[in-house]
Amino acid sequence: MTAAGIIADILLGLAALIVVGASVGIVVMPDAYAKLHFVTPATLVAPALVTLAVLVQAGLSENAGESVLALVFLMIGGPFLSHATIRAIRVRETGDWRQPAGGIKPGGEAGQ
């Protein structure tokens, strides 16, 4: 096996490990806010590692270019989507995404 193959395998192993960990986190965490933290590694970090692995394995080729393109779309869309998801869940739970005028008490309820 070449050095490039070994490096690619290490990167792929890391990516797979991150995805498995994120999947466990999504199952274990109690609510959607906490679960959403585990989507980010699978949306940003693991695709970056996969793209690097393709780049190492295939060099500067069409495959690597399209992997980078997919990564760019994920990196642009991921944070917007996470923000929109949090906003939607909050609107669904409280009726509005903004903080109430009286602030939020330590228990999580709106103050007067």
Least distance from other proteins to the Cβ atom of residue 74, Å? 5
Positions 84 through 103 that interact with other proteins (CB under 8 A): 84-85, 87-89, 91-92
Phi, psi for residue 110 in degrees, rounded to 5: -70, 140
User: Which member of 59, 69, 99, 102 binds other proteins (CB under 8 A)?
Assistant: 69
Least distance from other proteins to the Cβ atom of residue 43, Å? 4
3-state secondary structure of 104: strand
Give the single-character DSSP code of 98: S
- Contact between 59 and other proteins by CB under 8 A: the answer reads no
Give the single-character DSSP code of 35: H
